[in-house]
Amino acid sequence: MGADRGIIRISVRNLVEFVMRGGDIDNRRTSAAEKDAMQAGSRMHRKIQKRQGADYHAEVSMKHRVEQEEYQILVEGRADGVIETVSGVTIDEIKCVYMDIHQLEEPLPVHLAQALCYGYMYCADHENVDAITIQVTYCNLETEEIRRLKQEKTREELEEWFQGLIHEYVKWAEYLYRHTLRRDESLRELEFPYEYRAGQKELAVSVYRALARKRNLFIQAPTGIGKTLSVVYPSLKSMGSGNGEKLFYLTAKTITRSVAENCFALLRERGMLFTTVTITAKEKLCPLEKTECNPDACPYAKGHFDRVNDAVFDIIHEQQSITREIILDYADRYQVCPFEFCLDISSWADGIICDYNYVFDPNARLKRYFAEGNQGDYLFLVDEAHNLVSRAREMFSACLVKEDILLVKKLIKGRSGKLARELERCNRNLLELKRESAEYRVLPDVNLLVSNLLTVMGEFEPFLEEEKEFPDRDLVLQFYFDLRHFLNMYDGLDDHYQIYTELGEDGNFRLYLFCIDPSRCLNACLEKGIAGIFFSATMIPVVYYKKLLSGNTEDYAVYANSPFDSEKRLILVAKDVSSRYTRRNRTEFGKVADYITELAHSHVGNYMVFFPSYRYMEAVEQLLDERYDGSFRWQMQTNRMTEEEREGFLELFEEKREQSFVGLCVLGGIFSEGIDLKAERLEGTIIVGTGLPMVCSEQEILMQYFAEQGENGYDYAYQYPGMNKVLQAAGRVIRTAEDRGVILLLDDRFLRPEIQELFPREWSEYGLVTRETVGGWLKHFWENQQTDRSGGEPMSGQEKAEV
């Protein structure tokens, strides 16, 4: 749904699904509408259309304008088929499902409504047509059986039905029209809230220009330059000038969502009218201890669709910054599911703040925006974009576990003999592959297995419809979803993937569809909108990110220089330490412990040390313990920390100290990015090693793949991801113009030219040290930091906004 400054556009599908919904949320019923959106369904659509004769016109675009006093409602869509013969006209709506189509006596209401819409639109365009046949064609995806359900409608019947539909929508269109006019006026008048910092204006201009030209932009900008404001402000100005109807602010972590919310709040204080909604995971919104989305278990699910439109209408008129807390308040007031309520609010919000997966993940993406055939004037702002490479690989990869098949077969025993037999057939396929595998093995295809899995999928549908409750149904349902994802990914397989099998250390045999280069999949989503702005403090080398995120090395790129005083930062490289696997021994661990001690003794403050693994960290911690003399304290990160434990760990950096405190952490873990410890809360970090990922089958497959593509396979699989982790950890130290601190790199490999090429520009000067000389460098640095923090310059407005 969108407003084109006087034209309110809505698709046929969105219109009927929005107006006609009612009743309960019930996830015990498998959703025919969801399956309809599957890739397999799209392929079958085309197959059915091609079988028709010359009278059958496929994918017929239709538009219909409904005139209002000051604006128009433009309803648009594509009819699957229009059959024009001498005897009359038929509108064909095709729905591909796994359900038993012979159980259908009449079309599902939403499917019929879509066909009725196209029937009315056709009559409106053809004055000589007085009656029309409405046909809904159901096709079973496994058997390819077809069932056609028809009914005759007169022009008058269709017009009366359509006018009733539009009548329910008019108050929403009215809101959208009025709100968009006021929003755009406020955005045109919006001023940048502060004086621009060095480099900030150029960054904002680059963003505005890229959006005006509908081109992606990659931004490497150090922490503290004010990236969020520099990207958000020009994007809003672009929307105010008519370029963009909805803004997506995409993040990888909860803390960056808060930064985005603060940024929009700051601009609202300057007169901006702009509604944002923050989408939170279902588990964090659900009022129940265990998420059970059905009317028997949850009172919010019962009758949800009868109440939700009223709840949405009220919240968008009363709130501009719609956060988790506000959603929970309104959801309780109207007794609606908070998560589904949140998704519905997004249709009417100007900006959506959410995790990457709500745009890109095929299982979580918001289908109202990103289902096949949907398009919109969307702006995508991708924060901490360096995380998107690994996240996208996870989203578009799939895994099938042989032992899971056996478990499900056991759980359904006695309930479906046919499904059990088909699962056993797939188990035998995997057993054969297992016999041929030693460690991991790359395969050209698994067509036979996939053919058998499709049969399993077809049996699952009626089984889950009939068996609504039995022990461990949740496990069976999860397997069903995993299988569906596997088949969907296999359907889109291309040369960006590798298929391989591996026998894990846990004894489980797995088949992987590994998405090595996710750019094609990501780009399919980006093309639904205007352009993507990818920004991060670590985007080196930018060509690596262009290749793997947008797939277009011609995309624009900007490198913003650091605005901070280099005298307040000391970068040191130790040439007498190595973290290579072959050198991980007590002697090397002792050297690292020496450096930690030197840093802690050089100046009373808070420090972080990042290690290549838990085992390495524990070995060094043991040596610190053996040498303990009470001169400084430390705390070690533990594995799988809860949210409370993480907060407790970070609170240790808030305490006033008479002796130094050192946090021992894992590189690439929860504390190496996304945390914001300004000023004296963190005054230095030690990074042990160059961050190289562990050698494993996945990294080796990556290396081989990129080598075959003519790239440096080692760089793509190991060096670039490794240095990314190093730069993120180093970025914890200098966060504002007032910050001062030390970055100590412990590994002689940091002196290699190929690694120094990946240093940011602000690292052009560094000191070369050993354990004997590091103390002198540190003493000299801290003596030069004369400004007492209590008498230093106050924080700027921008810095306060970013805290």
Cβ-based neighbours of 337, under 8 Å, separated by 6 or more: 25, 286, 293, 298, 300, 301, 304, 308, 331
Hey, where are the domains in the chain?
2-171, 189-394+519-559, 396-515, 566-802
**pLDDT for the residue numbered 41:** 62
Cα(410)–Cα(396) distance, integer angstroms = 29
Cβ-based neighbours of 714, under 8 Å, separated by 6 or more: 703
**pLDDT for the residue numbered 795:** 43
Q: Residues 566-802: name the CATH superfamily.
A: P-loop containing nucleotide triphosphate hydrolases (3.40.50.300)
Cα(631)–Cα(176) distance, integer angstroms = 64
Confidence (pTM): 0.87
**pLDDT for the residue numbered 62:** 96
Cα dihedral sign, 753-759-760-764: negative
- B/e letters for 2-11, b = 16+ CB within 10 Å, e = fewer, are bbeeeebbbb
CATH architecture of 189-394+519-559: 3-Layer(aba) Sandwich (3.40)
Q: Which token pair is 322?
A: 């719609």
Cβ-based neighbours of 169, under 8 Å, separated by 6 or more: 10, 15, 18, 19, 73
In angstroms, what CA-CA distances link 218 with 239, 382, 558, 763? 20, 10, 6, 21
Q: Is the Cβ–Cβ distance between 606 and 677 less than 8 Å?
A: yes
Regions of the chain with pLDDT less than 70 = 1-5, 28-43, 45, 373, 786-803
Cβ-based neighbours of 123, under 8 Å, separated by 6 or more: 129, 132, 155, 158, 159
Cα(792)–Cα(370) distance, integer angstroms = 50
Q: What is the CATH number of domain 396-515?
A: 1.10.275.40
Bridge partners for 76 per DSSP: 11, 63
Instruction: Express each pLDDT in 669-696 by its tens digit.
Output: 888 887 778 778 899 999 999 999 999 9
Domain covering 2-171 assigned CATH 1.10.3470 in the classification: no
Cα dihedral sign, 604-609-615-616: negative
Q: Is the Cβ–Cβ distance between 337 and 280 less than 8 Å?
A: no
In angstroms, what CA-CA distances link 665 with 579, 683, 780? 15, 15, 27
Cα(442)–Cα(623) distance, integer angstroms = 43
Q: Which token pair is 398?
A: 């799939």
Q: Which token pair is 580?
A: 């290579």
Q: Which token pair is 312?
A: 């949405």
Burial of 347 from C-beta contacts in 10 A (0-12 / 13-18 / 19+): buried
Cα(346)–Cα(418) distance, integer angstroms = 43
Amino acid at 563: P
Cα(3)–Cα(328) distance, integer angstroms = 28
Amino acid at 695: V
**pLDDT for the residue numbered 786:** 60
Beta strands 569-574 and 556-559: pairing type?
Answer: unpaired
Q: Is the Cβ–Cβ distance between 373 and 223 less than 8 Å?
A: no
Cα(250)–Cα(382) distance, integer angstroms = 5
Beta strands 7-11 and 556-559: pairing type?
Answer: unpaired
The reply to whether domains 189-394+519-559 and 566-802 share a CATH topology is: yes
